[in-house]
Amino acid sequence: MTNSREPSDPGFEQRVRDSFGRQRLMATLGAGLVRVSAGEVEIEMPFADHLTQQHGYLHAGVVTALVDSACGYSALSLAPSGTEVLTVEYKVNFLAPARGDRFVARGRVLRSGRTVTVCSGDVVALVGAQATPVAAMLATIITVSASSAAGAAADRA
Amino acid sequence: MTNSREPSDPGFEQRVRDSFGRQRLMATLGAGLVRVSAGEVEIEMPFADHLTQQHGYLHAGVVTALVDSACGYSALSLAPSGTEVLTVEYKVNFLAPARGDRFVARGRVLRSGRTVTVCSGDVVALVGAQATPVAAMLATIITVSASSAAGAAADRA
Amino acid sequence: MTNSREPSDPGFEQRVRDSFGRQRLMATLGAGLVRVSAGEVEIEMPFADHLTQQHGYLHAGVVTALVDSACGYSALSLAPSGTEVLTVEYKVNFLAPARGDRFVARGRVLRSGRTVTVCSGDVVALVGAQATPVAAMLATIITVSASSAAGAAADRA
Amino acid sequence: MTNSREPSDPGFEQRVRDSFGRQRLMATLGAGLVRVSAGEVEIEMPFADHLTQQHGYLHAGVVTALVDSACGYSALSLAPSGTEVLTVEYKVNFLAPARGDRFVARGRVLRSGRTVTVCSGDVVALVGAQATPVAAMLATIITVSASSAAGAAADRA
């Protein structure tokens, strides 16, 4: 097991940005990469009416999508060149209604292994400069060869 | 604890449909309620390019939003009149890439209590008539008075 | 992905029983294997005073240990010869107090892949013939070569 | 929602110690309370042969029991007098084999509400002074009146 935050791929930031650019959902959410470092990634999005639940707050699924991507890219930032990452599972606790002007999700690698990476994530809602924690995630991600991840026969290992 | 599937609110189906209609995200996803019974709800959506991850499959966050809503509404279908439900947390395992023409999420109440409801959910991807399981959820939902759920001071209990 | 319940190792039952026999904790709990089939395993234990929480019910950690082993062995029953399984993570919902004379945990494989297996599990408490569901689990397990699982340098992959 | 770490019960430490003393499982594990502060609790136990899995490491269920109790008592440390806490659910990721001389579990309150408390926990394995993280937990706990928690008709709310 390596817990070092030394990226094995020096081009990790560009690689994360390229993959993020291919996630059509991120554009649909209006989300952008704020920060990409080795083992930690932040994504931000504004509030939007078309993404709400029945009380007018951001839908839990959108909050989850944001922090899932943040966790996944924190894992990818440490993955060797020629590999891809797949989310095996995650758990999210919702701490407060997702009410705010903007939302920032952060993903961090807790444990980086050859096959299994464990990440923790959180989301804060911002009203002006005031931040309220709205979600906490614990996620399991696996690293696979790029060909098996993208291929038509991909089986999520 | 009551595990009976007797809805305490005879108007439960209309109530679920009204609340679903207020979830702007469901319209954004093109999702519709397929079936609403006491303790079990199904939601369906078509594949859409603007909701994809980097390999062109449906984003895990979208799959999650769909089954979160199915679980939440299965809980609401058994909740007393004058109450609302809030998702406290969930865990999702992804079983296969979310690749298909349509996606059907089902939520089912496993345990219904005065405050805490536990639901299980699953999502299948459909290519024609062939269904592939793509996700499994286990969710915790709480029942609160309608006023505290919607109010400006809502604190998710 | 294979969801077939064809065990790849015809000697799977003996293999499960041998491994179970090496789990010293199972003996400490007084637990025994009730049933071992391909992809599904049941474990039973009696109530015991020395395993309780503060209200005199079985401790949640004991309930978890029981269903963790049931899930792990359901995964092992489908694993190729020469491999071992490791629990990557699990989530458990507690549905009722673990109050009873005996407890039966069942693990079932939901999805069996080359590397990742997903299992669901449940535990019932028995008072005479009456069974009350007390816990539901969703677990992620990986298959590794037997040498890496047991070796001093094992890194859980 | 209050995130303050002000205990509402000034006698919280004694209350935690009294309840811990009634958990027969903790004695069976040889576990002891290391530290009890408002919103954070540490529990320690030595390695023991009778608590192992098939490779001779501490069983995942034992690791879980330890950190479940640490999380539950961190929640109890902030709960009003006359109430009890019940674990609704938890998720645990296993980060490395539970191999060591001693194990220290820490539980911390992430979010404290009137009904729902969310805690994070972790476990480290110690060989001499060297600590290796072996598990991470995210747990949901509810606060109920002491009478309903202990009563014969308790329904976990």
Q: How confident is the model at residue B7 (pLDDT cuts 50, 70, 90)?
A: confident
Using a CB–CB cutoff of 8 Å, tell me whether D131 touches chain A.
no
Contact pairs from chain A to chain C, CB under 8 Å: 39
d(CA B71, CA B117): 10
Number of other CB atoms surrounding residue B34 within 10 Å: 14
Mutation test of the interface with chain B: which of C90, C138, C140, choosing the one with the most B Cβ atoms within 10 A?
C138
Give B97's contacts in chain C (Cβ within 8 Å): none
Which one is predicted more confidently, D4 or C41? C41
Contact A65 B61 (CB under 8 A): yes
Q: Which residues of A touch D136 (CB under 8 A)?
A: 110, 118, 120, 138
Closest partner residue to B88 among A20, A49, A93, by Cβ? A93
Distances (CA, A) of B32 to A28, B38, B134, C78: 20, 18, 19, 38
DSSP assignment, residue D75? H
Q: Kindly tell me the burial class for residue B89, based on how many C-beta atoms sit within 10 Å of its own C-beta (0-12, 13-18, 19 or more).
A: buried
User: Sorting pLDDT into bands at 50, 70 and 90, what band is A149?
Assistant: low
Q: How much is the ipTM here? A: 0.91
Report pLDDT digits (tens) over D99-113. Answer: 999 999 999 999 999
Which residue of C17, C19, C28, C76 is the best one to mutate when testing the D interface, meaning the one whose CB has the most D CBs within 10 A? Answer: C28
Residue D155 has its nearest CB partner, among B1, B91, B156, at B1
- Residue B148 pLDDT more than 80? no
Phi/psi of residue C143, nearest 5 degrees: -100, 130
Q: Provide Rg for chain D, Cα atoms.
A: 15
Q: Does any CB of chain A come closer than 8 Å to the CB of residue D60? A: no
Question: Measured between alpha carbons, how far is A33 from A42 in angstroms, rounded to an integer?
Answer: 6
As a whole number of angstroms, the distance between CA A80 and CA A15 comes to 11
For residue B25, pLDDT over 90 is answered with: yes
B154 — pLDDT class (breaks 50, 70, 90): very low
C89 contacts A157? CB cut-off 8 A? no
Residue C93 touches chain B, beta carbons under 8 Å = yes
Picking from D96, D111, D138, the nearest residue to A138 by CB comes out as D138
CA separation for the pair D14, D18 (Å, rounded): 6
Give C27→chain B minimum CA distance, Å: 30
Q: What is the pLDDT of residue B3?
A: 47
Residue D91 identity (one-letter amino acid): K
Which of C54, C66, C92 is the closest to D89 by Cβ? Answer: C92
Cα C70–B120–B78 angle (5° rounding)? 135
Q: Tell me the CA distances in angstroms from B139 to B11, B73, B81, C141, D30, one per residue in order.
A: 24, 12, 22, 20, 34
Number of B:C CB contacts under 8 A?
38
Q: Is C3 exposed, middle or buried (0-12, 13-18, 19+ CB in 10 A)?
A: middle
**Alpha helix (H) residue ranges in A2-145:** 12-22, 24-29, 60-76
Please say whether the beta carbons of D53 and D60 come within 8 A.
yes
pLDDT of residue D76: 97
**Tokens 């709480």 correspond to what residue?**
B142
pLDDT at D8: 82
**Percentage of residues in chain A with pLDDT exceeding 90?**
85
Interchain contact, B157 vs D91, CB within 8 Å = no
**At CA A114, angle to CA A10 and CA D46, rounded to 5?**
125
Cβ-contact A35, A26 below 8 angstroms: no
Residues B16 and B75: their CA atoms lie apart, in Å, by 10
Smallest CA–CA distance from C93 into chain B, residue: B118
Alpha-carbon distance of B41 to B104, in angstroms, equals 10
pLDDT in tens, D38-83: 999 999 999 999 999 999 999 999 999 999 999 999 999 999 999 9
